[in-house]
Amino acid sequence: MKRFLLALAAATALTTAQAAIPDPPALRAASWALLDFQSGEILAQSNSDSRVEPASITKVLTTYIVFDEIKKGRVKLDDMAFISEKAWRQGIDSSESRMFLNVGSRVKVEDLLHGVITQSGNDASVALAEHVAGGEGAFADLMNQYAAKLGMKNSHFMNAPGMPDPEHYTTAHDVTLLGLALIRDFPDYYKWFSLPDFTYNGIKQGNRNIMLTMDRSVDGIKTGHTASAGYCLLSSAQRDGRRLIASVMGTESTKYRAEASLELLNWGFRFFESVKLLGADQPSGSVRVWKGLVDEVQVGTLEPIYLSLPRGAAEKVEAKPQVDGTLIAPLSQGQRIGTVNISVDGKLVKSEPLVVLQAVEGGSWWKRLIDTIRLWFA
């Protein structure tokens, strides 16, 4: 919410200087949100913090956890996971969302991941949950721990596939954060979300995300549907180096969730731009240093700061460093020394810690003595 308000403040600051941005599309959905990947800011939303059922979008969190377990070395892609009767029956009870696993068989984790991502297999989701955590209940505990770490403050999960449960819920905002984390943390695995089909057990199934064939810039992420949740879609597209993530929850049909998502993405790409500020190669300025080997040090932020702004507003952005007190060497790289205030058209929209970009060693005893005397008269 804070990021949304800051983005809104930035947009408001520009309304007197340029034409207002057209309103976002009026979507027939229970809720929706549009997020800029680089800045992490919400560009537009409707009921984005209201509870909704995630349905199979839940599987994005399921795969995220498995990817992380692989990264940590606790699970391997070529592990052979046992297919329990519970996992098999979940597939039998879900005639459309299944990988067609055989009870009692063993299946590679890599194949199960494809079965979850492309085929939306409920049976594959349970099999992965059991392989990672020993049981779906323990895996649900993991899901809630991961959700909290990812900032999904209004979500709670009870199962790996996304089956309806009164205590299984999320929000449109939260799932965009999940999409951001997936793409940021596991870019190589994220490529699997754009695969057109997957074949297992002699059965070929196509990716349910029809947006992949509607627009070449779309490369994910996941569909969802139950009778109570409606038709949902978490999507992402990349154009000219920019990436947006959209969540559209509770729509009327497979076709409309895709059309609505694409309309929302098009609006965001057309009327907003991502502006890169600061970073290790773009200091905000130099500051006087006393008692050091050098007399000045560059300051700014070690990592780039991105703002999502209405198109044409980049020239109205200004970053001003504010140093807290006098800088006395030695100083370490990354040491916080104040605040950098970022404004748009004179209106403050974001404040970030101001740090030293290079370490500064203490000077000789003579240099320290001279600077001590100078500071008496400064």
Binding site for substrate, residues? 222
Burial bucket for residue 185 (CB in 10 Å: 0-12, 13-18, 19+): middle
φ/ψ bin of 189: left (φ > 0), alpha (ψ from -120 to 50), beta (otherwise): alpha
**Which pair of tokens denotes residue 282?**
């773009």
Amino acid letter, 145: Q
**CA terminus-to-terminus distance, the chain:** 44
- Residue 165: closest CA among 184, 144, 185, 148: 144
Q: Which residues are annotated as a binding site?
A: 222
Comparing CA positions, the residue from 65, 50, 28 lying closest to residue 170 is 50
Enzyme catalytic residues? 56, 59, 120
3-state secondary structure of 328: strand
Identify which of 237, 234, 231 has the alpha carbon closest to the alpha carbon of residue 218: 237
- Give me the half-sphere count of Cα atoms (radius 13 Å) on the Cβ side of residue 100: 10
Structure token digits, residue 349: 């929209």
